[in-house]
Amino acid sequence: MPSPYNDIVLEHFKNPRNTGSIENPDGKATEGSPACGDMVSLYLNVDPETKIITDIKFESYGCASNIATGSIITELAKGKTIDEAKKITWKEASEALGGLPKIKAHCSVLAVEVLRSAILNYEEKHGLITSKEPTTEEIVRKRLKKVMNPIKGLDMVATHLVKEIEIKDGVVRILIDLPENHQFANSIKEDAIEKIESLWDVDKAIVEFTD
């Protein structure tokens, strides 16, 4: 069958590992992307002494690359400590799957995100989190690194789409180096707004285009 997905991806898509939920998990999170509508939930149990992830389950309301990445990320994280698991990157997950189509990167990034969010949720619940810091250009930039540029299959910071960032009175203005009527302008905009508006001290994110 001619497919944009390789055999490893298709195998994980057909037979996803560690699916389902955990009752009363130690940590859990849900991530959704308005850009493509996919959603993924992840549940963790962590050994309180060793901080090793002893059980992990995921659920996906998403496309093939979302399901396959959810499957691989749970395999990669299981048996690791939460500090090790936090460091698993999208690149590692994608490599473990033998590569994903570029345009599908943003659907799979969610599955990586959700693991970090579930660990954060565990840390917050168990008093392992330091105090909140005010949003800076650096923090905004870091967040935008999670927004995929579907043209390149890399994030919007790495592909130089972010031209300007302005932070003032809880409003973050982002200028993106794309024409407003570009094929992907809308999906990038929605994704960026979602990532920035979830910051604790940001009331509103405004995305503008250069053309």
Partner 1 sequence: MEKVYYMDNAAATRLDEAVLEAMRPFFFETYSVATSEFGYSLGIEARDAMEDARGRLATCLGADHDEFIFTSGSAESSNLAIKGVAKALGEKKGKHIIVSKIEDFPVLYSARTLEKQGFKVDYLNVDEFGFVDMEALEKLMTEETILVSIQHGNQEIGTVQDLEKIGALCRGKGVLFHTDATHSFTRMPLDVRKVPVDLVTVSAHTIHGPKGIGGLYIRKGTAISKIMDGGFQEFDLRGGMDNIPGAVGFAKAAELVTVEENRRLREMRDKIIQLVFDQIPDVILNGHPSQRTPQNANITFHYVEGESITLHLDMHGIAVSTGSACFSRSLEASHVIAGIGGDHERAHGSIRLTLGRFNTMDEAVFVVETLNKVVENLRKISPLGKEKE
- Contacting positions for partner 1 (CB under 8 A): 1, 3, 5, 13-14, 16, 19-21, 30, 34-41, 59-64, 66-67, 103-104, 106-107, 150, 183-184, 186-187
The neighbour count for residue 170, using CB atoms within 10 Å, is 12
36 tagged catalytic: yes
Spatial separation of the C-alpha atoms in residues 71 and 68, rounded to whole Å: 5
**Tokens linked to 77:** 């994280």
Out of 53, 97, 107, 115, pick the active-site residue. 107
Nearer CB in complex with partner 1: 106/116: 106
Residue 206 C-alpha from the chain's centroid: 21
Q: Which is nearer to partner 1, 166 or 211 (CB)?
A: 211
Nearest CA to 40 out of 94, 110, 118, 121 is that of 110
Residues 6+ apart with CB under 8 A from 149: 155, 156, 158, 159, 161, 184, 188
Q: How far is the CB of 55 from partner 1 (least distance, A)?
A: 16
Angle at CA 73, nearest 5°, toward 67 and 77?
A: 150
Q: How far is the CB of 150 from partner 1 (least distance, A)?
A: 6
Q: Whole-number minimum distance, CB 168 to partner 1, in Å?
A: 31
Q: Which is nearer to partner 1, 41 or 139 (CB)?
A: 41
Beta bridge partners of 121: none
- CB nearer to partner 1: pick between 29 and 172: 29
39 vs 165 by CB, closer to partner 1: 39
State the number of CA atoms in the 13 A half-sphere of 156 facing the CB.
Answer: 30
Nearest distance, CB of residue 169 and partner 1, angstroms: 31
Q: Is 107 a catalytic residue?
A: yes
Instruction: Supply the minimum distance, in Å, between the C-beta of residue 103 and partner 1.
Output: 7
Burial 176-189 (b: 16+ CB within 10 A, else e): bebeeeeebbebbb
Which candidate in 29, 35, 36, 105 is catalytic?
A: 36
CA nearest to 45, candidates 90, 92, 77: 77
Active site residues: 36, 107
